[in-house]
């Protein structure tokens, strides 16, 4: 049975929404799909598409270093991502 996770950030909900697959009943899948869809804005969804497209090691570093920015509107988006990994090992894969 699906139980909503109130602690999810909007970005976490968007990423989970993209990776959602049916495991239990179709009703549980539909309930989680609708709940996640209601938690995210279009802009956050687009930002999550960007995040999910990054290499796994970059995703892991960003996740370990804090919450990812949830908007792509700002011209400083790349800078925001880099700020999230300050203190983490950087390499050419991030460039």
- List pLDDT tens digits, range 41-92: 988 888 888 888 888 888 887 777 766 767 765 545 666 666 666 555 555 5
**Averaged pLDDT, 6-14:** 90
pTM: 0.67
Give the closest residue to 49 by CA, choosing from 77, 26, 28: 77
Which sequence spans correspond to the domains of the chain?
A: 10-94
C-alpha angle 16/48/86, rounded to 5°? 110
All residues at 6 or more sequence positions from 88 whose CB lies less than 8 Å from its CB, including other chains: 61, 64, 65
Contacts 24+ apart (CB under 8 A), 22-25: none
């Amino acid at each position: 049975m699906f139980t909503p996770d109130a602690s999810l950030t909007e970005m976490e909900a968007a990423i989970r929404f993209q990776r959602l697959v049916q495991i239990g009943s179709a009703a549980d899948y539909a309930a989680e799909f609708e709940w996640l869809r209601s938690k995210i804005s279009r802009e956050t969804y687009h930002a999550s598409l960007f995040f999910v497209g990054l290499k796994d090691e970059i995703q892991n570093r960003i996740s370990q270093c804090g919450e990812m920015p949830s908007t792509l509107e700002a011209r400083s988006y790349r800078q925001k991502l880099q700020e999230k990994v300050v203190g983490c090992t950087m390499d050419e894969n991030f460039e």
